[in-house]
Structure 1
């Protein structure tokens, strides 16, 4: 009888320890929370947008208004690099083995130079076609919110979604406005540099791979859009070669980008 009692107690202890170990493993697998830092890099392309150049040429009897507008090429390659400081909140248990972890994140992104060229019919029409190239670099300061999903299918591969809003600092250096009828003339030559700031929005989707309790690798797609921007370039200044002009205004319509990126997050 004593032996049976001892065996029953031992079995109960084993079951309790096994249950506790399983619970500890599940907790470790889903444990989140706390600050993290991260970095990522990626490649992508800018979609076509519209450019509009406006100004006036000085003639003996007055000014001739110039208005040229047209689209850029359909895809211009670019790249990005970014740093993040974020926070993972406690997970919500939606269903057994389903967990959702909300995140908040500050992100700084640099987008490398890309040079879209707009092919722009001129008004008045007898002036033909204007080709405007704008070597563009962009810095972003973003505030992102995201969700990380733990599913029954994997405790290490975690789908994630995110959205973000912030400011885009757009800089154009060495812009060129050329017309085939005037070879060698850059109509922005006296000041080909300009910048503007606009609202930026982004959507992110990807996966995190839990390498350890602190280190995650990530791969993601992101769509980025930047509101229309406006620039002022210098007047055309070629004494004896070209009539003087007013300074030029260039309007760039909404910019849209698609990126694929990879990086890591390290939790404290």
Structure 2
């Protein structure tokens, strides 16, 4: 994927719209709605699989600790915004002004599949290869500060910070080991979910196309706290010893997101 491509398209549309726009508009306070979409990358994070293999008597049970890190999968996302913008606040006696806003967002992180290469303890079991297809739903509240400059009445840089909750869902997880071909160690239940605190940092550029319609493009850093999942026991009668349910721990998720969207102010 090329996350910058939709931003380049938006900047072209923004420039075209602004060339046809009036020289200035009165900046009104009030509510607005928005829609956004984008692409991004999940940074590498820690991944651990814990469990116990139940060996036949008189052999002792075998504890399993597979610990490693994930790759960096790409993803798409979308969302809706509901916001309110207040009157601009002058910066001293200058022509610079800050315009604060508050936003409530619902975000959807499309399916992406972190994959972990995880050496096993005890080491004679080799390496566990784990894939966890993941989607996310987030509810985020943000404060945003746009900067009105003397250089343009239609283009406004902005920064924002927000926090909320994320619900991560994994479906079709797989835990494989080359020494046991055809075995998915999560086969009895490969789906799980967990919720965690999330926060985001935003840096963007907004341009007014008309008095009520604006377009925006931004970089967003999104962080979701560590989560924990319970997957089903390995169940292959006659092929693999039974196990307890598996405890899988996923470290903090850090996303680099590139977003574009539209806002309509009432």
TM-score (norm 1): 0.88
Q: Deviations over 1:171-225 (max 9, x none)?
A: 0000000000000000000000000000000001110001111111000000000
Q: Deviations over 1:119-158 (max 9, x none)?
A: 0000000000000000000001000101011101111110
- The answer to whether residue 6 in structure 2 is matched with residue 39 in structure 1 is no
SS at match of 1:126: helix
Report the equivalent of 2:249: 251
Q: Which has the higher helix share?
A: 1
TM superposition shift of 1:98: 1.2
Aligned-pair Cα RMSD in Å = 1.2
- The answer to whether residue 46 in structure 2 is matched with residue 50 in structure 1 is yes
- The answer to whether residue 79 in structure 2 is matched with residue 82 in structure 1 is yes
Cα pair 1:32 1:101 within 8 Å, conserved: no
TM superposition shift of 1:29: 2.9
Q: Deviations over 1:88-111 (max 9, x none)?
A: 011111143211110001000001
Separation in 2 of the partners of 1:90 and 1:157? Answer: 17
Cα pair 1:30 1:99 within 8 Å, conserved: no
Cα pair 1:51 1:250 within 8 Å, conserved: yes
Cα pair 1:135 1:175 within 8 Å, conserved: yes
SS at match of 2:61: strand
Separation in 2 of the partners of 1:66 and 1:32? Answer: 61
- Structure 2 gap ranges (5+): 1-21
Separation in 1 of the partners of 2:98 and 2:220? Answer: 20
Report the equivalent of 2:133: 135
Alignment counterpart, residue 88 of structure 2, candidates 88, 91, 99: 91
- The answer to whether residue 154 in structure 2 is matched with residue 163 in structure 1 is no
Q: Which stretch shows the higher mean deviation, 59-68 or 164-173?
A: 59-68
